[in-house]
Structure 1
């Protein structure tokens, strides 16, 4: 497979062996490798049952891995960092998600690209717009910048 690009979302809200969440994300970027661009780490409020604030970032990576192979590698990195099976939205040392792929959409067992919920997640869009504002969602045709702007607009009931 030829080298392609992926937009990866990173999140952490627990101390790990590398230190506080911000350091966990920096160490995760080193572990992922192939970094083309990385967004600065942002602090974001927790969702769901977690009470701890999250550190979130995004990165564009270049690799020749297929989406399932990259996902398997990212999940192995999460485990290496101490992530264990947990409840949705629970505290975690590291969360790595494939958000977009330069080849468009992908769907297979356990993986859908683009990530099904990324369009509504400010904690994904805010870092992503810093490094990939013009990258287009292959399903909607909207750029990351447009999706982020929609998140900022007040919603009417």
Structure 2
């Protein structure tokens, strides 16, 4: 019998689905996730990346599942298709985007899947919801907690006082 492990899943939507607008789509997506949702973040708005003009609704879930990372990826892609996602332009508008950000097994690297997610450290729309439910989860690459990664990303850089030599 397989042992359950925890996944951190990022959820995003910026187009209506049969469930309603983006926030309603994410609510339905939480219920469709393959495993036991141990925690879910609030749904937060964010600006789009790339050519899409529609604002996103973003959230995160801690999901306990016996699925392996490749099986989890396949299940998430099937949910996206079921919600009406069609492959198209990179960073375009989408009904549902589900990404594996972290998992309890540390790192995973195969051609179709890399865990931790390659870009999550630079995306506040991923880190803010993740910090709401798992602030102390450590990135296996940097060793930093999600809270520390978000602080590094969002902290305003100031010029040290010693640099103000007039």
Q: CA deviation at 1:46?
A: 1.0
CA distance in 1, matches of 2:67, 2:109: 15
What corresponds to 1:5 in structure 2?
6
- Structure number, greater radius of gyration: 2
- In the alignment, structure 1 residue 16 sits paired with structure 2 residue 14: no
Alignment partner, residue 129 of structure 1: 131
CA distance in 2, matches of 1:137, 1:154: 22
TM-score relative to the length of structure 2:
0.92
- 1:39-78 pair list within 5 angstroms: 39-78=41-80
Measure, in 1, the Cα distance between the counterparts of 2:25 and 2:55. Answer: 14
Listed as ranges, the gaps of 5+ residues in structure 1 are none
TM-score scaled by structure 1?
A: 0.97
One of 92, 95, 117 as aligned partner of 1:93: 95
**Are positions 1:31 and 2:62 aligned together?**
no
- DSSP-derived class of the 1:104 partner: coil
Kindly state the Cα deviation for residue 155 of structure 1 after the two structures are TM-superposed: 4.7
Q: How many residues in Structure 1 have an aligned counterpart in Structure 2?
A: 157
Kindly provide the CA deviation profile for residues 67-125 of structure 1, in whole angstroms up to 9, marking residues without a partner as x.
00000000000000000111111000000000001110001120000000000000000
Aligned partner of 1:107 in structure 2 is 109
User: CA separation in 2, counterparts of 1:123 and 1:11?
Assistant: 9
How far, CA to CA, are the matches of 2:54 and 2:100 in structure 1? 23
* Cα RMSD after superposing both structures: 1.2
Unpaired runs of 5+ in structure 2?
159-166
1:146: which partner in 2? Answer: 148
Question: Shift in Å at residue 21 of structure 1?
Answer: 0.1
